[in-house]
């Protein structure tokens, strides 16, 4: 069975600094009518500009996902979009100021907590389901992201950082399982202490710090500020992937396997799915009924204490 579309009960406001720019931003997430989708909104030179969160408006995927209409842009939207996708919030207006989404604590948890506090309401229209009927994949060098037919959304993700405390990690997320999304919501973005100089010389991670990035040291072969999960990095990558799947106006039914993926492959895969959906529509094969996963109402977050390494 497919499910009904959902939106927020009331507006939620966030403010903070961006991870890469270090600049202040505010974002208010408002309820929206059915079939609105997720739409960014801002004011520029006295005029309102709307930027739908769809594959056509993604202009940068190198170190974050950036939305832009060619005039204004907004960086590092993936964690909030992952939270919305994970909670099944389909319709929202995201009104922002500044150049980049507040990074908060580097995870999706602050967004999730605020959205759940505001409340999620069911609307009348069905959420469309895109079921993979064949295998689709994107590759680059030794990386790939493949989707194969499956009755629900399941993700298997592997990352590999040899010669580091992260090493090789695999995490599997089955969205049909109770509390599935809460197993990744608190996973923070991560980086290496030894790379900070390089990043900052290139104008990146200017807002990064121990309070919003899980920092590892290659030299010391350890986490500097404490892991929330032993495999926190790969869990975070799954969150990033959900942020890219939110680009599509569908619940996805397929088994996705990502090996050493990232924002670029994630968004390339979303583009491929978007193209595939159009093709399916033409062939009248799009499925709006069938198995679907239930996420709303099943999620609870247990506070986890970061164990600070001494």
Across the beta sheet with 58-60, the strand order is 58-60, 66-68, 73-74
CB of 78 to Zn ion, least distance (A): 5
Is the Cβ of residue 85 or residue 276 nearer to Zn ion in the bound state?
85
Residue with Cβ nearer Zn ion (240 or 253): 240
Helix (H) or strand (E) holding 201: helix 196-201
Using the minimum distance from each CB to Zn ion, give the nearer residue, 128 or 188: 188
Only one residue has tokens 């608190």, namely 186
CB of 76 to Zn ion, least distance (A): 8
Beta bridge partners of 223: 216
- Shortest distance in whole angstroms from residue 74 CB to Zn ion: 15
Quick check: 23 and 103 in contact, CB under 8 A?
no
Q: What is the dihedral of CA 12, 14, 19, 20, to 10 degrees?
A: 90
Whether the CB-CB separation of 188 and 104 falls below 8 Å is answered with no
CA distance 280 to 7: 27
Cβ proximity to Zn ion: between 5 and 182 the closer is 182
Residue 228 corresponds to which tokens in the numbers above?
Answer: 């929330």
Which letter does DSSP use for residue 127 in this model? P
Provide the minimum distance between the beta carbon of 240 and Zn ion in the complex, in angstroms, as a whole number.
4
Nearest distance in Å: CB 189, Zn ion = 4
263 noted as active-site residue: yes
β-sheet bridge partners, residue 96? 27
Asked if residue 144 lies in contact with residue 268, where contact means CB atoms within 8 angstroms, the answer is: no
By CB under 5 A, name the binding residues for Zn ion: 189, 240
For Zn ion, which is the closer residue by CB, 25 or 123? 25
The 8-class DSSP code of residue 110 comes to H
Q: What three-state secondary structure class fits 265?
A: helix
Candidate list 30, 263, 300, 307, residue with the active-site label? 263
Q: What does the DSSP assignment read for 133-199?
A: SS-EEEEETTEEEEEE--SSEEEEEEEEETTSSSEEEEEEEETTSTTTGGGTTTPPPEEEGGGHHHH
Closer Cβ to Zn ion, 128 or 263, answer by number: 263
Here the tokens at position 75 are 């960086």
Shortest spacing between CB 232 and Zn ion, in angstroms: 11
> Among all residues, which ones are annotated catalytic?
263
């Amino acid at each position: 069975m497919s499910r009904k579309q959902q939106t927020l009960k009331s507006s939620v406001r966030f403010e903070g600094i961006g991870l890469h720019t270090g600049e202040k931003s505010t974002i208010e997430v408002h309820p929206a009518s059915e079939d609105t989708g997720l739409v960014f909104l801002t004011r520029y030179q006295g005029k309102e500009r709307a930027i739908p969160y769809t594959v056509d408006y993604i202009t940068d995927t190198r170190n974050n996902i950036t939305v832009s209409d060619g005039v204004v842009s907004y960086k590092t939207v993936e964690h909030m979009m992952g939270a919305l996708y994970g909670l099944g919030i389909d319709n929202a207006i995201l009104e922002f100021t500044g150049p980049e989404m507040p990074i908060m604590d580097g995870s999706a948890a602050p967004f999730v907590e605020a959205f759940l506090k505001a409340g999620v309401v069911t609307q009348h229209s069905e959420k469309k389901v895109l079921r993979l009927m064949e295998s689709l994949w994107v590759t680059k060098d030794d990386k790939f992201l493949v989707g194969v037919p499956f009755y629900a959304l399941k993700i298997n993700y592997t990352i590999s950082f040899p010669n580091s405390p992260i090493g090789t990690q695999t995490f599997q997320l089955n969205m049909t399982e109770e509390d599935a999304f809460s197993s990744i919501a608190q996973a923070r973005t991560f980086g290496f202490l030894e790379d900070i100089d390089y990043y900052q010389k290139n104008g990146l991670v200017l807002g990064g710090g121990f309070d919003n990035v899980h920092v590892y040291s290659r030299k010391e072969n350890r986490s500097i500020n404490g892991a929330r999960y032993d495999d926190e990095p790969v869990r975070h990558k799954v969150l990033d992937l959900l942020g890219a799947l939110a680009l599509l106006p569908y619940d996805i039914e397929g088994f996705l396997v990502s090996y050493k993926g990232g924002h670029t492959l994630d968004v390339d895969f979303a583009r491929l799915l978007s193209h595939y959906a159009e093709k399916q529509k033409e062939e009248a094969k799009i499925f709006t009924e069938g198995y679907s996963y239930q996420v709303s109402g099943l999620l609870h977050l247990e506070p986890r204490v970061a164990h600070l390494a001494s």
